[in-house]
Structures are given as structure tokens and as C-alpha cells.
A and B are shown apart, each in its own frame.
Chain A
Amino acid sequence: AQKVTQAQTEISVVEKEDVTLDCVYETRDTTYYLFWYKQPPSGELVFLIRRNSFDEQNEISGRYSWNFQKSTSSFNFTITASQVVDSAVYFCALKDQGAQKLVFGQGTRLTINP
């Protein structure tokens, strides 16, 4: 069965600090996709990244970086030099190759304080 666990329910840091959001997943498939989405207070889900199971290279996009470790079934997300605008709920999600739907984690509410 598929499962995504985001153990951190809420995180609060001061602006400019680095913060890492954890994501651990479970799946029996060998081919799968992992996603991160940002949900600001307005509600929409903003796509951040998709990573397939065969690509373990870490990804960096500006202040955002992702660390994919198949050995620990983790796909962690780090924000460097956080800003107030980064405040949102962040969801990690999993999709097996043969499945249509995403399985979401419970989300991590990130608050960046000025």
C-alpha cells in the first residue's frame, strides 16, 4: 500500500533561517513519482517539483532544494534563507507508475516569522 508521512505538523522559524521539511514514503512499486506542492493561505496548490524513482540526483531551484534518498524512502525539502512569503502548508505526495491518483501526506504548516 502507498503511504506518505510528513511527521512535522507545524514548523515555525525566524526569517533567514534554513528549514527542512521531511517526507517519508512507502510503496511496493519500483517505478513511482514524488511531488511537493505549496498551499498558501489562498488555497491553491502550487506545484514545486516532481521526481521519478530512478532519478536520485538532488535538485536545487533557487532557495529550494530537494534530497531524494531511496535507501531511506525519503524526499526531504529544504528552504534556504527562508522568507515570510514561504509561509504556507507544504504537501508531499506519491504516485505509483500504474496508478492514477496521488497519495498525499498530512502536510506541514510552515510559518516564517519576521
Chain B
Amino acid sequence: GAVVSQHPSWVICKSGTSVKIECRSLDFQATTMFWYRQFPKQSLMLMATSNEGSKATYEQGVEKDKFLINHASLTLSTLTVTSAHPEDSSFYICSASQGVGGNTIYFGEGSWLTVV
């Protein structure tokens, strides 16, 4: 079946540096990808919707300059956390929609980010 892959699964970075997380749809073309953030014991919080070839649509309260999203191809979207701080430490997970109307949605494995 369809698979969405995220990389890296775990990343530790120093405060002030930037880190990039990749989300790939492995066997289908995803015109739309989504990025979520999840705090411990909480639900998924949608950060942005990424459409191939256009600018991402960010949810209210999400800093677009801090969380840069690029969706340059139909199989790859990237999230770059710029100038990371410890409060950015979290679980980030992407998803990609497939099919007419985008009603089949698959999630990546997620990426654990720790900023020290």
C-alpha cells in the first residue's frame, strides 16, 4: 500500500541552529501534504498545509518564518525549523493525501526533535 516516509526519525540539534525534516510519498504522488506537531499526551496540531508548487498555508499562530515548508515535487515536502530553541522540541509528523478529493490520508513515521 501507499507509504509515507519521514526522515530523520530522531534529531538532536543545538539551540540556534536549523534542522530540516523530509516527508516523502514513496509510491504515489501527493499534491497535498500536511505538517503536524504533537506535544506529549496531546492530539495532533496542524501546522500547515503544503500544496505542490505553491506556498504553504499556515494555521493561525504558526510562525511561517520559523517553520519553513517547501513542497517542490509531488513526492517530497520539507519542514525546516529555523533558529531552533528548546521550546521547539516536539514530535513532528507529516501526512500526504491520495486519490480523488484527497480522502485517503497516510502519515509518516514522525520525527522527534530535541533542541539542546
Residues of chain A whose beta carbon lies under 8 Å from any beta carbon of chain B: 33, 35, 37, 42-45, 47, 50, 52, 91, 95, 97, 100-102, 104-107, 109
Contact = CB atoms under 8 A, between A and B. Distances in A.
Contacts of A43: 91, 93, 109-110, 112
A99 to B, nearest CB: 9
A104 B106 contact: no
B105 A102 contact: yes
Nearest to B111: A43
B105 A95 contact: yes
Nearest to B38: A43
B49 A44 contact: no
Given A33-B103, A45-B107, A45-B110, 17 more contacts: A42-B109, A43-B91, A44-B108, A45-B44, A45-B95, A47-B106, A50-B104, A95-B103, A100-B32, A100-B49, A101-B34, A101-B49, A102-B34, A104-B44, A106-B43, A107-B43, A109-B41
Contacts of A107: 42-43
Contacts of A44: 93, 107-110
A95 B105 CA distance: 10
A102 B44 CA distance: 10
Interface string B15-54: 0000000000000000010100000011110100100000
14 contacts: A33-B103, A43-B93, A43-B112, A44-B93, A45-B110, A47-B105, A50-B103, A100-B32, A101-B34, A102-B46, A102-B95, A106-B42, A107-B42, A109-B41
Nearest to B101: A97
B25 to A, nearest CB: 14
Interface string B74-116: 0000000000000000010101010001111111111010000
Contacts of B110: 43-45
Contacts of A105: 43
A109 B40 CA distance: 12
Contacts of B109: 42-44
